[in-house]
Amino acid sequence: MSVNVFIQARMSSARFPGKVLAPLHGEPLVLHLIERVRQAHGVNRVVVLTSTEPSDLPLASYLEKIGCAVFRGDLENVFLRFQSALEQYPCDYFVRLSADSPLMNADLLSDMVAHAQSGDYDFISNVQSKMFPKGQSVEIVNSDLFLSVDADALTPAQQEHVMPYFYEADINKLFIDNVVNQRDINTCVDTIEDLRAIESGAISFDYQGTVRGA
């Protein structure tokens, strides 16, 4: 059962423009996430999905330089961008991650990928319970199911945020809970202050395992 990781990224963040290439311990933010994903078990390929906008050219160029697969697609209809990426990088399931999550835990990702590899579920998420830190969100969907959805028929919010459609769909879903509630921890970079907090070492996430949710 093949599983790709698709990292959603763009340079045009409203609150922190260019943050995905902002330096963290001397290396671009996005590289920290890529390296953590590469440590996870069961991942076939890591691809960064960005847009065809000129503002995202520096990101695409950097990714090509470090040998990371990159796909450029629609800026606004992100759902369509993911569908187009699937045609170029086919797999049985794919994981959606956000590029502003440099502290993504490889063990958490490995555990959730293992559920996908069982082939028992259409959609797997640890977002529903809101017990994981911000910046540790993992969503996995069956690729055939994803490709079967008419992206143009979705609402603008569904197109932009990609996965909301599947939380409401009548499909076989698995929601993962954290062993403890760590929602008060923020491992995501939304602002320059978040970046500085992570770089200072003030932010950490001690992964203790997962349990099957409802």
Q: Greater confidence, 87 or 129?
A: 87
pLDDT in tens, 23-49: 999 999 999 999 999 999 999 999 999
Contacts of 35 (CB under 8 A, 6+ apart): none
What superfamily would CATH give domain 3-197? Spore Coat Polysaccharide Biosynthesis Protein SpsA; Chain A (3.90.550.10)
- How big is the chain by its Cα radius of gyration, in Å? 16
Domain ranges in the chain are: 3-197
Distance CA 122, CA 92 (A): 10
Average pLDDT over the chain reads 96
Does the pLDDT at position 13 exceed 90?
no
Q: For the full predicted model, state whether its pTM sits above 0.85.
A: yes
pLDDT in tens, 110-138: 999 999 999 999 999 999 989 999 999 99
Q: Are 107 and 207 contacting, i.e. CB atoms less than 8 angstroms apart? A: yes
Distance CA 122, CA 68 (A): 27
pLDDT of residue 15: 87
